[in-house]
Structure formats: structure tokens, C-alpha cells
Amino acid sequence: MSEYKNPRDLWFTYDIVAEDPTTHARAGVLHTPHGDVPTPIFMPVGTKATVKGILPRQLEELGTKILLANTYHLANRPGADLVAEMGGLHDFMQWHGPILTDSGGFQVFSHGDFTKLTDDGVTFRTVDYDGTYVHWTPETNMDIAQKLGADIVMQLDQCPGYPSPRSFVERAVDLSSMWAERCCKAHTREDQALFGIVQGGMHLDLRLRSLERLESMGDFPGYGIGGYSVGEDHETMFETLAPLASEYMPEGKPRYLMGVGNPTTLVRGVSCGVDMFDCVLPTRTARMGTAFSSEGRLNFKNACHKRDHRPIDPECGCPVCTGGYTRAYIHHLVKQREMVGSILLSLHNVYYLLDLMRRARQAIIEGRYGAFLSDWMGSPAAGDY
């Protein structure tokens, strides 16, 4: 009789196809039931089962390989039971590629005084919905995640802000580790991968403690790196992120830097060995009237664009930049608060980050990521922090 293999071990594998000789960057392929994900990759965020202003078909045309949805928001509206009744997230939102859902923990802990924390779980007030109090344990969080039905789900963790006392961050590591073990036991859906999350703030020793505990629990198919982009500056982040990703994270598992989406941070993160990124930045900044570009970030509220015949970025191949839309037209839309302006900028910004990671991947495969990084850091685009 052949030995039983969990289907999860067959569906969620990660192949490293190239490693850069001068940096820690690597290119890989993450296999999921809804398709393969080439890494490094940027994942657009569809918070409430939609990437704001962009249809699923357009996301596919832009080159999106995997996107995110938010467990906290979907648990509140329309509710995990309704999503399950509608066939799960893929059918509900008509996106049939891979999906990752976060745990919702970041949103829960952002409620501050409306949050009460115990070993058992977290009680919070849904201040941005109907104001009711909700209690989540790792077990109830996994139940929600399994009903939503994403390909990849994240453990429930505590995400401390910056700055926080070391004792508070240490407690968050202990609690997140305990919750990770309970999430593992509660998570039973075989067509879904559960990622552990490394916490520890800006303390490398606490990060390594968190990682060691996660590795001792079992075979997570991948690891999130949480607790960054919570108030610290970028250089402070890289002081611990760089050694964590390049020297200590497991080599054969995808490394997911959570909630970070600035172009330069992506390029530098890849050089440290990070594989996956997500952030609301491209669509949020688009709704504010700004765009990523090879010149740095452009603010289309500014009058300098009023008579500019050029596209957003002459070097960009997105459908906006190649479709005849001028800076003058987008300036007009932004000034008049027309929704098409936000849509066009969202399309461009999402494409920009997807294409940046495509080019980064190709540079890794060709063994020239060190030069790619150097060229980027010497370009005007690198100033967009």
C-alpha cells in the first residue's frame, strides 16, 4: 500500500528556477489549485472582493497572477457564510486565478482602544461597520478563512505598531506563536494552504524566535513576514528585514512581505530574497490623483500637467499609456473628480508594479539582478518612497 500524501502537499509546491549570483534575489513558481504564480510577484489588493475600479478581466489583461482579499471586511460584509453559499470567493467575485486572504488581524488591532486581547483570542468592536463587539479565536478565524475559500490563507496573529516597547513586541511574538499552532490544528481544508507569519518588530532576535517556533510546528507551505510598514522608516525596516529574509528564512518556501508596495521597497526587498508583496498603495494613490512613473511619483492635481501631451509614462506599456490618454486629460479628470481619472490611474499603477516585478524576475533569470538594482537606485523612480 502506498503512503498517503495530503493533496495540499501536491497542490502547494514552490520551485526555485533561478538565483541571482550577486544578490539574494531568486525567481520561482508557486503552484496552486487555481494556477501557477511566478515570483517575485506583486499582488493587487481586492479588499472587499474587488480591486477598486478594475474589473477581473482587466486585472487578467494587466498580468495579475494572484490577488488578495481581506478577511476582516468580508467577515463583516457580506459575511463568510454568504460567500460560501455563493460558491466561495472565486465564483463570488468572478476571479478564477489564485487568491490569498489575510487573517484580518491587522485591521482588528488597528482599532486600538476598542480591542481586548487574551490568550484565547481577541475581542474587538466593528467601529467601521455596525459597532457590535466580535470575539475571534484562531479557530473561528480559520473557520471564516475556509468558508471564503481562497487558495492561501494566513494565520491569526498580533501585529504590533511602531514604536512599541520590546516587552509588548515580545508578547506579540508569544501570542502569535501560540495562535499559529492552534490555526494549524483548526485548518483542515486540503485545497487551501495556511501560511505562518513571522513577527518580532524591529528586533532581529525576536524575529528569529518567531521563525524558529513556526518551523517547529510543522511544514508550513510558506511564510508571511508581518509587522513591517507600521510606522517605521524604510531604512529601519531593512535593518532587520534584510538579514531575516536573506540568511534565516527557509530556502524552499515562498517569503511574503505583507503590506508593502512602494516600488523601491519592492526592488530592494527582492534583492534580500523576498518573493511576494501586496499593498493597497497603487489604487489608493490613484484615487488621490497620483501615479508611479520612471520620473518618480506624479501628482496630477498639479497645473504643470494641464497642457502636457505625453502619456503618464512614455516608458510604460500599460493600456492607459499606450491608449492615447494624455497627462492633460488625466489632469482634467482628477481636477473635476471624475471617476474615470481614478480608474485610469489605478490601471496604470497596478500595471506598473506588476511589470516592475516581471522585469525583476527576468533580470534574476539572466543573472543580472545586481545591475538591475543598481540601475533602479540610480534612477529618478527610486526617489518615490
Contact 155, 183 (CB under 8 A): yes
Report how far apart, in Å, the C-alpha atoms of 238 and of each of 140, 233, 242, 271, 272 are. 34, 9, 5, 11, 9
pLDDT at site 113: 83
Number of H helices, E strands in the chain: 15, 16
Contact 134, 92 (CB under 8 A): no
Contact 119, 136 (CB under 8 A): no
Q: Which residues pair with 7 in a beta bridge?
A: none
Rounded Cα gap, residues 102 and 106, in angstroms: 9
Tens-place pLDDT, residues 263-286: 999 999 999 999 999 999 999 999
Residue ranges of the binding site for substrate: 102-106, 157, 199, 227
More confident residue, 8 or 76: 76
State the catalytic residue, choosing from 102, 151, 275, 313: 102
Q: Is 278 annotated in the active site?
A: yes
Domains of the chain, earliest start first? 10-279 (3.20.20.105), 290-378 (no CATH)
Rounded Cα gap, residues 42 and 20, in angstroms: 19
pLDDT at site 106: 87
How far from each other are the two terminal CA atoms of the chain, in whole angstroms? 57
Sign of the C-alpha dihedral, residues 207, 208, 213, 216?
A: positive
State the DSSP string of 238-276. HHHHHHIIIIIS-TTS-EEETT---HHHHHHHHHHT--E
Report how far apart, in Å, the C-alpha atoms of 264 and of each of 45, 241, 318, 377 are. 19, 15, 19, 8
Residue ranges of the binding site: 102-106, 157, 199, 227, 316, 318, 321, 348
Going by pLDDT thresholds of 50, 70 and 90, the confidence category of residue 10 is confident
pLDDT at site 110: 84
Going by pLDDT thresholds of 50, 70 and 90, the confidence category of residue 385 is low
Give residue 151's identity as a one-letter amino acid code.
Answer: D
- Grid cell, residue 380, equals 529618478
pLDDT at site 1: 44
pLDDT exceeds cutoff 70 at 21: yes
Report how far apart, in Å, the C-alpha atoms of 279 and of each of 43, 70, 258, 369 are. 7, 12, 8, 23
Contact 309, 330 (CB under 8 A): no
pLDDT exceeds cutoff 50 at 314: yes
> Which phi-psi region, left, alpha or beta, contains residue 218 (left: φ > 0; alpha: ψ -120 to 50)?
left
Residue ranges of the binding site for Zn(2+): 316, 318, 321, 348
pTM assigned to the model: 0.96
pLDDT at site 382: 96
State the catalytic residue, choosing from 20, 151, 275, 278: 278
- Grid cell, residue 137, equals 479565536
